[in-house]
Amino acid sequence: MRRDVTIPLPAAPPVTSMPERPNDPPSTGPIDATVLNRIATHFRQSTRFARVHTQPSYAPNTVVADYDLGYFPSGVTRASLQIRWFETDDFTIHYAEQYQTSNSWECRWDRHPNDHNTREHFHPPPNASTPGEDDDYPSDWRDVLATVLTRLDERIEEFWSG
């Protein structure tokens, strides 16, 4: 006669975002694959993007969305968003335009512990310089994306309103 025996396992240590060294900023925690998949699904439904890559080999912790270049003047050779979202609701959203001249224009929205700005901050164009500008973002990822996409829509409109 077989008896099932349950052997209690020790509890896993809690995941902490405290730094190993006291002078280091806390970690952002693990990537939130569920939110990244939702972002990719949302982007695939948008006409803004020609291609959406979920965790590509060259950026395995991100969603990369390439804009449809029909929104841009012919001098723009690529425009893309790279998004990392963490289980702590920290994030990095990096936007970059690349030009035929080999120049680029980029900016970044961030929420993460750091030693250069408040947790929520924006790295302004044209080169996403650090330190950035302190900022405030909504708590829900959908609202953060709406904020970012609205600002990028305004950027694209600037190309055509001059």
Domain limits, the chain: 33-160
Contact yes or no for 121/135 (Cβ under 8 A): yes
Q: What is the mean pLDDT of residues 126-137?
A: 92
Which residues pair with residue 80 across a beta bridge?
Answer: 66, 96
Q: What is the mean pLDDT of residues 3-9?
A: 38
pTM value is: 0.81
Cβ atoms within 10 Å, residue 50: 14
- Is residue 26 scored above 50 in pLDDT? yes
pLDDT given at position 15: 33
Structure tokens at 37: 């998949």
Q: Does an H or E element contain 85, and which?
A: strand 76-85
pLDDT in tens, 38-84: 999 999 999 999 999 998 888 889 999 999 999 999 999 999 999 99
Closest CA to 93 of 103, 102, 84, 101: 84
